[in-house]
Amino acid sequence: MSKKTLIVIGNGMVGHHFLEQFTASAAATGFQIIVFGEEKQLAYDRVHLSEYFGGSTHADLAMGTLEWYSEQGIQLHLNEQVTGINREARRVTTSRGSYHYDKLVLATGSYPFVPPITGNDHPHCLVYRTLDDLDAIRTSAEGARTGVVVGGGLLGLEAANALKCLGLEAHVVEFAPRLMPVQLDTDGGALLRRKIEELGVQVHTEKATTSIVDGESARLRMNFSDQSFLETDLIVFSAGIRPQDALARASGLEIGERGGIVIDNQCTTSDPHVHAIGECALWEQKIYGLVAPGYTMARTLSAALNGDRETAFTGADMSTKLKLLGVDVGSIGDAHAQTPGARNIRFNDEQAGHYRRMVISEDGKTLLGAILVGDNSHYDTLLQYALNGITLPENPETLILPESQGGVPALGPDALPETASICSCHNVTKGDICGAIDAGCSDLGSVKAETRASTGCGGCTALLKNVVDNELEKRGVEVSKDLCEHFPHSRQELFHLVKVNGIRTFRALISQHGKGHGCDICKPAVASILATCWNEHILATDHVPLQDTNDTFMANMQKNGTYSIVPRIPGGEITPDKLIVLGQVAKEYDLYTKITGGQRVDLFGATLSQLPEIWEKLIAAGFETGHAYGKSLRTVKSCVGNTWCRYGVQDSVGMAIRLEDRYKGLRAPHKVKMAVSGCTRECAEAQSKDFGVIATENGWNLYVCGNGGMRPRHGDLFATDLSDEALIRTIDRVVMFYVRTADRLQRTSVWMENLEGGLEYLKEVVLEDSLGIGEELEQHMENLVGTYQCEWKTAVEDPEKRKRFREFVNAPSQSDPEQEWTIERGQRRPALESV
Amino acid sequence: MKARTRWDEVCTVDDLVPESGVAVWTEDGPVAVFYLPHRLPALFAISHSDPFSGANVLARGITGDLKGEPVVASPLYKQHFSLRTGLCLEDDSVRVKVYPVLLDGDRIRLEVPVIQHESIAA
Ligand SMILES: Cc1cc2nc3c(=O)[nH]c(=O)nc-3n(C[C@H](O)[C@H](O)[C@H](O)COP(=O)(O)OP(=O)(O)OC[C@H]3O[C@@H](n4cnc5c(N)ncnc54)[C@H](O)[C@@H]3O)c2cc1C
Ligand code: HEM
Ligand code: SF4
Ligand code: SF4
């Protein structure tokens, strides 16, 4: 039987998804598939397009591979635009030829709308839709200082962020009175604007551009209808998208009044042999500018081509959750309360920068829509209420109030119905997930592989994990605490085994209590336990192969295989002489030099074989290793304190140095940071550290288990008005208790959150000695402090250990050919790989 | 036609670090040689270049076994490479070069391809 021909026009996200669905179905065997894509590249993830500026390549963003296409027997014609459709003859013409079809699928997406403004065809007027567009923006940004985005919607703000990342001063010009007019209301838009302006993007609302002419201080000048103007070097238009329906229009297919190829519930156009899916399609007068509805259309069409008339496209949810320039924004359902009788509940904390609005039905029972700005943590719960019509609690406002004001924690996974949609990109419900688990999936990874949940935009990752964990727990699956396949024990259990049985090597531990030869998970974890228990040099023969490269070579490996050097500068205090030595060494070895946030100096770009020489020089000048590579104490940051500061009440620098000298080198489950402030003004930001010390009139207040970074946590006030000695005794005990009981790679903040009994329990153990181990903890710490050695000093003095630092053991003078350099702002840095 | 190869001496046993790797320079570029004394065979050699970063770092990764397969973990982005086949366990479209390696007395020899201009001269 000769095959029929199916032609797909457009190799974008939806076109590709359709091919994935269709080739896996029974009907595929009856068709020869031909795909035309106008872009040079294979279909890629447009949703994450901006990551191209963050360093992702086309290969990272690609949705499939050329091999996959050839395995499926698909004829792929990239860089070949379809120029006409002849529906009578059932042929398409392209820039290179003419082809017959039996079935035709239009997946042509949309194109950016550029408003008809005089001068909009200037070479520095650009759009933001394809990889080629981004290349053009990057080229235009060279030598540019400022950039303007026309359009303050979702994509416009993303483009503004991209301009900012390219180092330009970014402006957003919006015609409407507020940002994201479609998704947000006045208050939400105002808050978003404030936050975005704080990030350095200038927002101009209610501006209608009338013309673009040559500028005086920059390449271009934009004139506005209110007589004002703005000069800029480049302009990115992001004023909305229009369905790419030109081919369909020219061939006489039915087109909507405002564009879009009209389709029915099976994605068929006015011609039964022609179908349309994705952003080019118009369903019940609606265009969907998001990827999830496009995917649903693709699945529907694949089903229809397999003779399934039941599956139908019935519209899609347009809720969105995103982070724009780092600001959370969420919009759900009927955000503008257009349903008759709808009522609003608003929560607006201008201080914290959080705005939340719920739109509820007249009877107060269901959630119709919502707007969130500044904090999306309520999004998942609200979306589930809205999508599944779950009856609202009696006081619905509790859903958006902060917990301290009577807010209720998020909806638990148990409360979700089986039909609740967890992943909208791949249309996976809670029921599908339970099904996958019942069919044998026993962890998150296999559920993802089986259902594809959370492999689209990734927005549902946290929710998915919650559901999976909860379902596994319900089925009595113990979520395994085993370290890895080699040890059926948690880190804490291994710690006890090592300590109680006096085990001193990895080999002894694995042969007595594990199996196999170990891996990169258990080896460093055991090395850390051995170091805490016995404090032997980390380059002792038995320990070398256990360590991460950073520990083995006592320096942090950088992306090109070179290392950084961070000498300890206790409390951030340094003499001019020592500072000069740092400069001299950096100059001699051409090391990139940067001041860290931990009040010391980081020297980058040393090769393996240079490390011992450099350290020899630094040690001779009185420096010690800073352990920037270790899971151990980093720095004790301090403010200048009462020796200089007119507000200071204690010597914060002195205390910081004392603490840093005491705890330096201590191996812990994860890195530990400390800080000391000289008065309550808290200039050292001590409350964001694992251990924060703040001076009082009477002594020191101690805060524990704070954290900065990705998941900031305020330290908990642990004890007040401590004397110097009491402070150190207390920190000794908390640190040791943490080292003994925490999991592998668990920071103190997470340890505290998982500690049964929490802060109160820790106070009992440490301050009241409820377990009777206080003295033992202190004694253990004393031993560690007593056996401290500067690892670099020991290493450079030992020829055997120095041997490890040869780049190539058989060619001492051979330098690494892969290391290429370039000069930036007067210093050497790795050249980015040229592609 | 069979490509010509040669068994080059690259280092001695004393240069090796038990349970870990060292880098050697060969005519075929940098190679990582691993010595795992608790396995048979105990010697493995793969390219030193990490295909995910392009940096010459694989000798500096942690060795071990996963489901019995001897592996090294890239010190940069932590993918595992089989020391027997060079295959990346996380992404089977990626493979690093593997070199036959043997112990000759106390010398370590690698089988490396003979580069073109030499074979013409020979
Ligand atoms: C920067 C950015 C961020 C986004 N963020 C999100 C987000 O967070 N969430 C979300 O859901 N959506 C987002 N989107 C929207 C999402 O990318 C689109 O919904 C999705 O790509 C639509 O898929 P499509 O296949 O319909 O169209 P496209 O991906 O545009 O594919 C259409 C393809 O057809 C080709 N084509 C057109 N005409 C022809 C012709 N005549 N001959 C040959 N080929 C032709 C085009 O060149 C194009 O490659 C974003 C879009 C952009 C640009
Ligand atoms: C997963 C999260 C993190 C990773 C992987 C990470 C990694 C690193 C690395 C590798 C270095 C050493 C740089 C070098 O010398 O090569 C470093 C230094 C530093 N990091 Fe992080 N870091 C993380 C989180 C944080 C957080 C949350 C903060 C602050 C709140 C932070 C603040 C610092 C500071 C101040 C330094 C310099 C410290 C010093 O002087 O030694 N880091 N980080
Ligand atoms: S914390 Fe207090 S003592 Fe320290 S610098 Fe600030 S004001 Fe001065
Ligand atoms: S934030 Fe930390 S991990 Fe991220 S790039 Fe900077 S130094 Fe690296």
So where are chain A's domains?
4-111+243-305, 125-239, 317-411, 413-477, 491-547, 633-786
Res A404: pLDDT: 66
Residue A805 has pLDDT above 60, yes or no: yes
Residue of A nearest to B62 (CA): A520
Which chain A residues are within 8 Å of B71, Cβ to Cβ? Answer: 519
Per-position b or e across B21-40, b if 16+ CB within 10 A of its CB: bbbbbbebebbbbbbbeebe
Q: Is A13 in the pocket of ligand 1 (CB under 6 A)?
A: yes
Name the band, by pLDDT with cuts 50, 70 and 90, for residue A370.
Answer: very high
Res A591: pLDDT: 94
**Given this chain, do its domains A4-111+243-305 and A633-786 carry the same CATH topology?**
no
Closest ligand to C-alpha of residue A238 is 1
Asked if the structure places residue B117 within a domain, the reply is: no
∠ CA A513-A519-A524, nearest 5°, is 85
What's the fold here for domain A4-111+243-305? FAD/NAD(P)-binding domain (3.50.50)
For the segment A285-297, the average pLDDT, to the nearest whole number, is 91
- Nearest chain A CA: its distance from B22 CA (Å): 7
Q: Is A334 in a helix, a strand, or coil?
A: coil
- Provide the domain limits for residue B89: 5-112
What's the fold here for domain A413-477? Arc Repressor Mutant, subunit A (1.10.10)
Name the band, by pLDDT with cuts 50, 70 and 90, for residue A538.
Answer: low
- Nearest chain A CA: its distance from B119 CA (Å): 24
Which chain B residues are within 8 Å of A552, Cβ to Cβ? Answer: 20, 60
Asked if the structure places residue B118 within a domain, the reply is: no
Asked if the structure places residue B40 within a domain, the reply is: yes
CATH number where B80 lies: 2.102.10.10
pLDDT in tens, B44-86: 999 999 998 888 999 999 999 988 899 999 988 888 999 999 9
Residue of A nearest to B11 (CA): A810
Res A824: pLDDT: 86
Write the ipTM. 0.81
Name the band, by pLDDT with cuts 50, 70 and 90, for residue B120.
Answer: very low
Res B121: pLDDT: 40
Res A409: pLDDT: 56
Distance CA A759, CA A285 (A): 58
Q: Which of A636, A651, A652, A694 has the most ligand 3 atoms within 8 A of CB, as the residue to mutate?
A: A652
Which parts of A215-342 are beta strand (E)?
220-224, 229-232, 234-237, 241-243, 261-263, 274-276, 281-283, 320-324, 327-333
Which comes out higher in pLDDT, residue B106 or A15? A15
Distance CA B26, CA A229 (A): 64
Q: Which two tokens stand for residue A295?
A: 């995917």
Q: With 0-12 CB in 10 A as exposed, 13-18 as middle and 19+ as buried, what is A511?
A: exposed
How many independent structural domains does chain B possess? 1
Q: Best residue in A810, A814, A815 to probe B by mutation, most B CBs within 10 Å?
A: A810
Q: DSSP assignment, residue A606?
A: E
CB under 8 Å to A788, separation ≥6 — which residues? A535, A664, A665
Q: Which two tokens stand for residue A799?
A: 């020829």
Q: Is B36 on the interface with A (CB under 8 A)?
A: yes
A718: Cα separation from own chain's centroid: 32
Q: How close is the Cα of A709 to the center of ligand 4, in Å?
A: 10
Which comes out higher in pLDDT, residue A615 or A458? A615
Q: Is B13 on the interface with A (CB under 8 A)?
A: no
pLDDT in tens, A141-178: 999 999 999 999 888 998 998 999 889 999 999 998 99
Helix (H), strand (E) counts: chain A: 25, 38
Q: Which two tokens stand for residue A135?
A: 């290349």
Per-position b or e across A218-232, b if 16+ CB within 10 A of its CB: bbbbbbbeeeeebbb
- Nearest chain A CA: its distance from B99 CA (Å): 17
Residue of A nearest to B16 (CA): A809
Report phi then psi at B108, rounded to 5. -100, 125
Cis, bond preceding B41 (omega within 30 deg of 0): yes
Name the band, by pLDDT with cuts 50, 70 and 90, for residue B118.
Answer: very low
For the segment A630-634, the average pLDDT, to the nearest whole number, is 89
Name the band, by pLDDT with cuts 50, 70 and 90, for residue B1.
Answer: very low
Which architecture does CATH list for A633-786?
A: 2-Layer Sandwich (3.30)
pLDDT in tens, A73-128: 999 999 999 999 999 999 999 999 999 999 999 999 999 999 999 999 999 999 99
Nearest CB neighbour to A561, from listed B29, B56, B80: B56
Which chain A residues are within 8 Å of B30, Cβ to Cβ? Answer: 808, 816-817
Q: What is A317-411's CATH superfamily?
A: FAD/NAD-linked reductase, C-terminal dimerisation domain (3.30.390.30)
pLDDT in tens, A706-758: 998 777 899 999 999 999 999 999 999 999 999 988 887 789 998 998 887 88
Which chain B residues are within 8 Å of A816, Cβ to Cβ? Answer: 30, 56
Residue B119 has pLDDT above 50, yes or no: no
Q: Looking at this protein, which amino acid is placed at residue A598?
A: G
A683 annotated as belonging to a binding site for a ligand: yes
Asked if the structure places residue B87 within a domain, the reply is: yes
Which chain B residues are within 8 Å of A818, Cβ to Cβ? Answer: 49, 54-56
A639 annotated as belonging to a binding site for a ligand: yes
Sign of the CA dihedral running A673, A679, A685, A689: positive
Which architecture does CATH list for A125-239?
A: 3-Layer(bba) Sandwich (3.50)
For the segment A630-652, the average pLDDT, to the nearest whole number, is 93
Cβ pair B55:A811 closer than 8 A: no
Q: How high does pLDDT run on average in chain B? A: 85
- Nearest chain A CA: its distance from B30 CA (Å): 8
Q: What percent of chain A has pLDDT over 70?
A: 96
pLDDT in tens, A465-511: 778 888 887 777 665 667 788 888 878 788 888 887 888 889 889 88
Asked if the structure places residue B121 within a domain, the reply is: no
Least confident of A237-241, A632-636, B74-78: B74-78
Q: How close is the Cα of A474 to the center of ligand 1, in Å?
A: 41
